Structure 1
Amino acid sequence: MLTYPEHREWPSTEREWAQRIEQVGQQRLVGPDGKDREAAPKAAPAPRFISRREWRAAAPTQTDTVNFWPEWGGIVLHYAGGGKEMREEHSPGRTPAPLDDCYYQVRLIQHRHMHPSPITGGERYWDIAYNYLICHHGYTFVGRGLASQPGANGSRYANERYYAICGLIGSGDPKPTDVMLRETKAVMEWVRRYDQAGARVEGRHVKGHKDVDRDPPTQCPGSLYPYIGNGYFD
């Protein structure tokens, strides 16, 4: 439950409303009178967000909301990696979370991004590298969120122009579930509506990671890629 401050004005722009929804996630938003409040107008349906507070994200070391122009690019879709990445459990509120759990998985991804192993190496990011991460249960974990430059797209050019959305699925998993695909599409519609992703691009503006990052070659986003080709996310 989040208590809304008594003397704070409610956000007024559509983007501010959208960012407020991401901050609230699955929590109740309660006003100073103890009554439930709406995070945004009911006319603006939202994905099933799990806020950073809910998945207990570490604080970023910095952010970049200036050098990001997704209207000139769009959206890049990722998967979580090789092997089996789908987690059996989805258990908010359990402390500690089971290892086979989506909440634990997202926290682990953030830790690996911010603190790469000295043995295996890897780029050090200022936060989890994705804007959003979607599990096969049909929920969206807020990463860097709306209007923030990602770090996962493989180059400065791609990071400055494309949202990075990650499906929590791997090359060894079954096909993506219907609820995962619907939630992914809902998140893509979200960034189109509230940050004009792909608005100035002719043709398809949803790409796979392997379309924008070919050095070294990658198979990402794996089994999600055919849904780009068949126009599901258009």
Structure 2
Amino acid sequence: MTVFVSRSGWGARSARSVSTNITPANGGVTVHYVGSGSVAKQNHDQCAAQVRSIQDYHMDQKGWSDIAYTYLACVHDHVFVGRGPGVRTAANGTTSGNQNWYAVCGLVGDADAIPENLVKAYHSAIARLRGAGGAANRINGHRDHLSTSCPGERLYALVKDGSLDPRRAAVPPWPGIYLKYPPITRHSSVTTWQEQMRTRGYSLTVDGAYGEESKAICVRFQRSKGLAADGIVGQDTWDASWR
């Protein structure tokens, strides 16, 4: 399961200013990389320092108010919170790009392989931006906004073939039981579903018990998907949770 690292978790500096003037429902999510060469950290303990160095460069050399990206994803299936959902980016290179598109940077260079754990991190980041951030379903590369090599040939190939779209992730088989309340449903599949809702940006306790809180989240999710809002996780709601 992807781990989201808060700003305090990676030691972020405070932003000088924050703009919520962003309309991602008109765009989606733009994919970036760090740059040329091999930059992926084999030791995950080094990733937070790498994110801090990117923030320092953006604030001290570029003069921006904060790190430019919405999220940064590493090859260890961790997502570092940059500006976060609902905040205008500074990474996409054009006014319309920053207005309408979130920015997710993979902590890789053009010489690095793209491991499955990085793809998983992208899936989780993009799913959360669609859920909590209101992003449209479109995904593009930085080079689609202006002339640049970013996000490199390997990542851009995954953009073009749809591999970074979380809807392409495998849907675990429906467990064959209905998750509902009352009474409380306790089953291993409840944990699986709760973890997926957390990945999508919903705030709930992952405890394997489908109770009042889980039902309320289910109703919100069903309404967002145009499903019958009965608060019961049947096969349609289960499958939609991964789409």
TM-score (norm 1): 0.68
- Which residue among 45, 62, 74 is the counterpart of 1:135? 74
| Structure 1 residue 197 corresponds to structure 2 residue 142 | no
- Which residue among 30, 43, 47 is the counterpart of 1:102? 47
Map of 2:87 onto structure 1? 148
**One-letter code aligned to 1:233:** L
Structure with greater Cα Rg: 2
Map of 1:53 onto structure 2? 8
Give the structure, 1 or 2, with the largest relative contact order (CA under 8 Å, sep 6 or more): 1
Map of 1:72 onto structure 2? 26
What is the CA–CA distance in structure 2 between the aligned matches of 1:227 and 1:166, rounded to whole Å?
A: 14
What is the CA–CA distance in structure 2 between the aligned matches of 1:129 and 1:207, rounded to whole Å?
A: 17
Whether contact under 8 Å (2:141, 2:156) holds in the other structure is yes
Query: What is the Cα deviation at residue 88 of structure 1?
Result: 2.0
Query: What is the Cα deviation at residue 195 of structure 1?
Result: 2.3
What is the CA–CA distance in structure 2 between the aligned matches of 1:134 and 1:178, rounded to whole Å?
A: 12
How many residues are aligned here?
Answer: 164
What is the CA–CA distance in structure 2 between the aligned matches of 1:195 and 1:164, rounded to whole Å?
A: 12
Query: What is the Cα deviation at residue 47 of structure 1?
Result: 4.1
Q: Could you say what secondary structure the match of 2:53 adopts?
A: helix
Whether contact under 8 Å (2:74, 2:118) holds in the other structure is yes
Map of 2:209 onto structure 1? none
**One-letter code aligned to 2:4:** F
> Structure 2 regions of 5+ residues with no counterpart?
166-243
Whether contact under 8 Å (2:2, 2:120) holds in the other structure is no
Map of 1:206 onto structure 2? 139
Map of 1:124 onto structure 2? 63
TM-score (norm 2): 0.65
Map of 2:56 onto structure 1? 111
What per-residue deviation string (whole Å, max 9, x for no partner) do you get for residues 63-96 of structure 1? 011x1000001110000111111012112xxxxx
Map of 2:122 onto structure 1? 184
Whether contact under 8 Å (2:79, 2:121) holds in the other structure is yes
Map of 2:160 onto structure 1? 229
- Which residue among 135, 142, 149 is the counterpart of 1:219? 149
> Structure 1 regions of 5+ residues with no counterpart?
1-45, 92-100, 117-122, 200-204
What is the CA–CA distance in structure 1 between the aligned matches of 2:27 and 2:49, rounded to whole Å?
A: 31
Give 4+ residue runs of structure 1 displaced > 6 Å after superposition: none
What is the CA–CA distance in structure 1 between the aligned matches of 2:160 and 2:96, rounded to whole Å?
A: 23
Q: Could you say what secondary structure the match of 2:42 adopts?
A: coil
What is the CA–CA distance in structure 2 between the aligned matches of 1:188 and 1:228, rounded to whole Å?
A: 12
What per-residue deviation string (whole Å, max 9, x for no partner) do you get for residues 140-170 of structure 1? 0100011111100001111010000000000
**One-letter code aligned to 2:11:** R
Q: Could you say what secondary structure the match of 2:25 adopts?
A: helix
The RMSD of aligned alpha carbons is 1.3
Counting only pairs closer than 5 Å after superposition, residues 9-28 of structure 1 correspond to structure 2 as none
